[in-house]
Structure 1
Amino acid sequence: MHPIPCVLMRGGTSKGPFFLASDLPDDEEARNELLLQIMGSGNELEIDGIGGGYPQTSKVAIVGPSSTEGVDVDYLFVQVMVEQRRVDVSPNCGNMLSAVGPFAIEKGLVKPSGDTTCVRIRNVNTDTLIEATVQTPNGQVRYDGDAAIDGVPGTAAPIHLTFLNAIGARTGKLYPTGQSRDTFDGVEVSCVDAAMPMVLIHASSLGKRGDEAPAELDDDKAFMTRLELIRCQAGLAMGFGDVSDKVIPKPVLISKSDAHAPLTVRYFMPHRCHKALAITGAVGLAIACSNGESLIRDLIDPDSIKGEMDIAHPSGRLSVAMTPDPSGQAPICSLLRTARRLFSGDVFVPDAND
C-alpha cells in the first residue's frame, strides 16, 4: 500500500481531505484516478475510502505555492462523485476554501504575520482571487473561538473570506446568455455567473414553496427530473455544452422569506439539495441581487440591501457583507466562516502494480 500525506479538515459546512500539490501526480488523469481510490468513489457509502458518502463530504482540496505575482497559494477544488467514479473540477467551493488559509499556514506555505494573517488565494478552477484572514496568535493557527455559523455545531475561530473578482468566474460575464432572464421548458430563469454559475428559479414556478426540507425535494423524482432538464438546457445556453456529467451550473430555488432574511434559497449540488448553502452560491446571489435585473428583483428591491444581505437556507442563515468595488462593476463580497483540523497522517492506496 502506498501512503500519501493528508489532512482531513472541515471547511465551513463541508469536509474533506487536503493535500499538498507536490504529494499528488502531476498528470491530471493519474491524479483523478488516485483521488477516486482515496475517496472510495463508485459506492453510495464510499465504504472503501475516506469519502463521507454525501456531496458535502466527498470533496478534495489541493494546495500549493502560487506562481502568480501577489498571490500566496493556488487552490484546486475537486468534487468527487459519490456513486459515479468521476470527478469534476469545473467549480470552486467556498466552504472548503475556508480551510485553505489554515492549511497553507500550517504547511509552511505562508508565514504567520501577527495575531491575524491574510492569505491571498487563487482558485485554480475559476481563476478568481480570495483573501482569507486567519487567526494566528503567537504565530500559530487558532481554531477555537466564539464564532458560530449555521449548519455547524458549536463555535470556532472566525475566518473572513473576501472575494475580489467574482463576476464571470467561468464565462467572463454576469449573465452568460447575454440577458438577465431566459425561459427553459416554459419556466423563467436567470442564468448567473458570479463566483459560481447558477440557474435561479422561482420556487413557485416548479410548484414548490421554497422552504421544503432537502430530503423532501430530493425524494420528489418528478421535480428533480424537471429541474435537471432545465439545468441542462441552461448549461447549453450558458456555453458549457452538455452538462449532464458536470456539476455546473447549480440550480437554485429562490423565494420570499421574512424581514430577518429577505431571501430563502434551496441550492442543489446539482442532483441533491444542499443542507445549507454554498459560499460561492451566496456570493453569486448577493451580486445578482445588487445588480437588480435577475429574478431576485421580483422578491427584493436591491435599494433595500444596505451593505449586507441575509439569505435563509435549510440550516439557518448566511450573511454576505457587500462593499463598493472601486471599478463600480459589482460589490466586493465578504463572509464569515470557520474551519477545523480534524486529523493529519497518511491515507493509503494500493500500489500501481497491485
Structure 2
Amino acid sequence: MQAQKFALKRQQSISASYYRGGTSRGIMVRREDLPSDQSQWDSIFLGCIGSPDPYGRQLDGMGGGISSLSKVCVVGPSSHAEADVDYTFVSLGIKNSQVDYSSNCGNMLAAVGPFAIDTGITSVEGEKRNEEQVTVRIYNTNTDKIIHSSFPVIDGEAAASGDFTIDGVSGSASPIQLQFIRPAGSRTGKLLPTGSTTDTFGGITVTCIDVANPCVFVSASQLGVPSDLTPQQIDDHPTLKSTLESIRRMAAVKMGLAQTEDQTPGSVPKIAIVALPVDPSCSNVEVRAMSVGQPHKAIPVTVALAIAAAAKLKGTTVFECVVKGNSANSPTVIHHASGVLGVDGKFSDSGELESATVLRTARRLMEGKVFWK
C-alpha cells in the first residue's frame, strides 16, 4: 500500500522548562516566548502536550495520559502592584481538544516561584531576600488572586534538595510555602456562592464553596459509598463518577459558573467526597477528589484549601465530617488517596478568610525547547 503524501514542513518549537509541582507535572513557558495574540496559544499547547489523543496516552507529546500530567503554566513579569510575576494556568484535555483557562492549579503553583527565579523573570536580590529564603509574589490571572511563594535559594537558583516530603511523591525535597492571600471568591466573588452552607442536587446534600477554586463537597454517606475508596475503586464503580459529574454540573449552574449544565467547564467546580477519617489519630477528615472527570491520585491543592476553610464553617458537609483539632486555629490534616496533607486557614474576627497556607515541593526536570507539528 502506498503511503499518502503530505507537504513536508519543519517542526515548530518554543523555549520551555518541564517541572514537577506538588503531585503534578507540567510545561513551564515564559509569556514573552509566546505569541502576543493569545488566540494562537491553544494550538501550541495542544501540540506540545500531545492532545487530542484517542488512545488517551499523549505519546506524541509531553503529557502523561492523566489530568495531573496534562498542564501548561505561562509565567511573566507582573504589572500588578502586589505581585512580582503573573501566572496563567492551562489545563489540556487528553482525548479531546479542550483548552481550559477557568481554574488555578495549586500543585503546579509550587513550581511557579522556582521557575521565575531559575529563568530570571524575577530576581532574588532586594527586599524580597531574607538570608537564604526568598518570597515571590504571584498573581494568578485565572482567579484574580495573589499567592506568596516562599522557598530557599542557593547560588541564585531555587533549592531542590531537602528533607521535606509530601505524600504522593517519592523522595524528599526543599519545602515551598504557598500562602494564598484572601483566597475566597476566586471565580464567584463569594466564599459561599449560593448563599447557603448546603444545597441539594438530585436529592443529595452538598456544600458549594469558593476558596482558591470553586469546589463542591458531598459526604460519602450521602452517596452510599465507603470513605476510603481507592482511585481504582472509584473508576470501577458503575455509577459513582456519573453521579458526581451530574452533581458538579448542577452545582456549576447554581454557583453562576455556567448558564447551563452542558456549558460547565471541565476543571471547575472541583468536586470531592468527604467523610470522617478512618484513623482520627493521623488526620481530621477523609477526602477523595476528582480531577476533570478522573479520580485524583492525591488531592488538588486548591481542593485542600477549600476543605480547610469549610472545616471551620459550621453547617457545611465538611464541618460535619471533621474530627476537630485542639483549637480553632489548628491546621486541618486531610487524608487523601496517597497519604496526608496539612492545610491552615485563617479567619479574621469578622469572619473573612484572610489566608490559607500549604507546604509543597517542586523540582526542575528539564529545560530547552519543546516541539510541536
User: What amino acid maps onto 1:53 in structure 2?
Assistant: G
Displacement after TM superposition at 1:28 (Å): 2.7
Contact map agreement 1:127 1:169 (CA 8 A) in 2: yes
User: What amino acid maps onto 1:64 in structure 2?
Assistant: G
Matched positions, count: 350
Q: Secondary structure at the match of 1:291?
A: coil
Structure 1 portions without partners, runs of 5+ = none
Paired residue for 2:20?
10
Paired residue for 1:311?
334
Displacement after TM superposition at 1:293 (Å): 2.8
Kindly tell me: are residues 326 and 343 of structure 1, through their superposed partners in 2, closer, same or farther at Cα, counting changes over 3 Å? Answer: farther
Q: Secondary structure at the match of 2:15?
A: strand
User: What amino acid maps onto 1:25 in structure 2?
Assistant: P
More displaced 10-residue stretch of structure 1: 1-10 or 296-305: 296-305
Are 1:276 and 2:276 an aligned pair?
Answer: no
User: How far apart, in 1, do the equivalents of 2:228 and 2:257 lie?
Assistant: 30
1:33-72 alignment to 2 at 5 Å?
Answer: 33-43=43-53, 44-72=56-84
Post-superposition CA distance 1:297-349 (Å, at most 9, x none)? 22236675433110000100000133454764125221111101000010112
Paired residue for 1:27?
37
Q: Secondary structure at the match of 2:158?
A: coil
TM-score normalised by structure 2 residue count? 0.90
Paired residue for 1:238?
255
Q: Secondary structure at the match of 2:227?
A: coil
Are 1:168 and 2:180 an aligned pair?
Answer: no
Post-superposition CA distance 1:28-74 (Å, at most 9, x none)? 33101110111111111111111111101001110000011131000
User: How far apart, in 2, do the equivalents of 1:124 and 1:33 lie?
Assistant: 20
Q: Secondary structure at the match of 2:41?
A: helix
Contact map agreement 2:46 2:97 (CA 8 A) in 1: yes
User: How far apart, in 1, do the equivalents of 2:153 and 2:30 lie?
Assistant: 21
Kindly tell me: are residues 324 and 343 of structure 1, through their superposed partners in 2, closer, same or farther at Cα, counting changes over 3 Å? Answer: same
Q: 2:96 aligns with which of 57, 60, 84?
A: 84
Displacement after TM superposition at 1:244 (Å): 4.1
1:135-284 alignment to 2 at 5 Å?
Answer: 135-241=152-258, 242=261, 243-257=263-277, 258-284=280-306
More displaced 10-residue stretch of structure 1: 75-84 or 223-232: 223-232
User: How far apart, in 2, do the equivalents of 1:290 and 1:134 lie?
Assistant: 28
Paired residue for 1:341?
364
User: How far apart, in 2, do the equivalents of 1:261 and 1:111 lie?
Assistant: 38
Sequence identity (%): 38
Displacement after TM superposition at 1:12 (Å): 0.4
Q: Secondary structure at the match of 2:296?
A: coil
Displacement after TM superposition at 1:158 (Å): 0.8
Post-superposition CA distance 1:95-140 (Å, at most 9, x none)? 0000000000011122112401100001110011100002113433
Q: Secondary structure at the match of 2:95?
A: coil
Q: 2:87 aligns with which of 62, 70, 75?
A: 75
Kindly tell me: are residues 78 and 271 of structure 1, through their superposed partners in 2, closer, same or farther at Cα, counting changes over 3 Å? Answer: same
User: What amino acid maps onto 1:165 in structure 2?
Assistant: R
TM-score normalised by structure 1 residue count? 0.95
User: How far apart, in 2, do the equivalents of 1:28 and 1:300 lie?
Assistant: 43
Q: Secondary structure at the match of 1:322?
A: strand
User: How far apart, in 1, do the equivalents of 2:245 and 2:315 lie?
Assistant: 24
Q: Secondary structure at the match of 1:99?
A: helix
Are 1:100 and 2:120 an aligned pair?
Answer: no
Displacement after TM superposition at 1:207 (Å): 1.5
